Amino acid sequence: MTLRNVLGLPYNHKRVYRIYRDLELNLRIKHRRRIKRTKPVPLAIPVKPNQSWSMDFMHDALTDGRGFRLFNVIDDYNREALTVEIDFSLPAQRVIRSLNQLIECRGKPNQVRCDNSPEYINRALRDWAIEQGITISYIEPGNPQQNAYVERYNRTMRYDWLNQELFTDLDQVRQQAEDGLYYYNYERPNMGNGALRQHRN
């Protein structure tokens, strides 16, 4: 006696299997393959200033909801904050202008480390770097730890002053950024330097 006869069901096992197959319930579940991650390579520690700079963007918003960007550059040797550029838009040409201003003040770096933001992979910036004889070292996508020096600086900026204030215009942000830059370089001990300040008076 079949199951259909016992339970009084209006269908048999063949029909059940046909529906099961039509719904693609008979397909094997594909297990996701684990991505083999290479062992992380420690960041090289520069032995002198201007050997390596790191740059990165941050984002925030004014009280009226308008978003703005911050362009940060630090020297990897002593974690000195070199500049912070602030505006609603910071295209590649603004990045180049900021870097040129830094070079005029303190000379060229051997390399600049950054992520793969559109402004950084822009042809204009790459051509500029070739003309200047500067290597642009791009980190791997999705691996911000490869740009750890400036990422750590970004976190310090955000916790020390960016998240502490409500800004109504960019002038307020720029003034706070200027004060924060001075405090970071001249007053705040940096654990990456053995708790020394970037600039010792």
113 in any annotated domain: yes
The CA-based angle 148-166-172, given to 5 degrees, is: 85
**CATH for 184:** 3.30.420.10
- The pLDDT of residue 133 is 97
pLDDT of residue 44: 80
Residue 154 lies in a domain: yes
- Residue 44 included in any domain: no
Tell me what percent of the residues of the chain surpass a pLDDT of 90: 70
Q: Please tell me the predicted confidence (pLDDT) of residue 84.
A: 97
Task: Give residue 198's pLDDT.
Answer: 52
Alpha helix ranges (H) inside the chain: 3-7, 13-22, 92-106, 118-121, 123-132, 148-157, 170-186
pLDDT of residue 201: 47
pLDDT digits (tens, 9 = 90+) for 151-161: 999 999 999 99
Whether 89 and 21 share a structural domain: no
Same domain? For 147 and 81 the reply is yes
Q: What's the pLDDT at 56?
A: 98
In the beta sheet, which residues pair with residue 75?
A: 53, 80
Give the residues of the chain that fall short of pLDDT 50: 1, 195, 200-201
What is the crossing angle of helices 170-186 and 148-157, to 10°? 120
pLDDT of residue 165: 92
Are 76 and 15 contained in the same domain? no
Shared domain check, 181 and 100:
yes
Q: Is there a single domain that holds both residue 12 and residue 94?
A: no
Give the pLDDT confidence score for residue 81 in this predicted structure.
97
Looking at the 3D structure of the chain, how many domains does it have?
2
CA angle 164–56–107, rounded 5-degree value: 115
User: What are the structure tokens assigned to 121, written together?
Assistant: 């992979």
Q: What is the pLDDT of residue 21?
A: 75
Is position 201 within any domain? no
Residue 49 contacts residue 78 (beta carbons within 8 Å): yes
If asked whether residues 81 and 140 sit together in one domain, one would say yes
Same-domain check for residues 97 and 163: yes
Do residues 14 and 59 both lie within one domain? no
pTM here is 0.76
Q: Residue 2 domain-assigned?
A: yes
Residue 187 is part of which domain span? 52-193
pLDDT in tens, 95-106: 999 999 999 999
pLDDT at residue 57, rounded to an integer? 98
Which ranges of 3-158 does DSSP label H, i.e. alpha helix?
Answer: 3-7, 13-22, 92-106, 118-121, 123-132, 148-157
Quick one: pLDDT at residue 195? Answer: 46
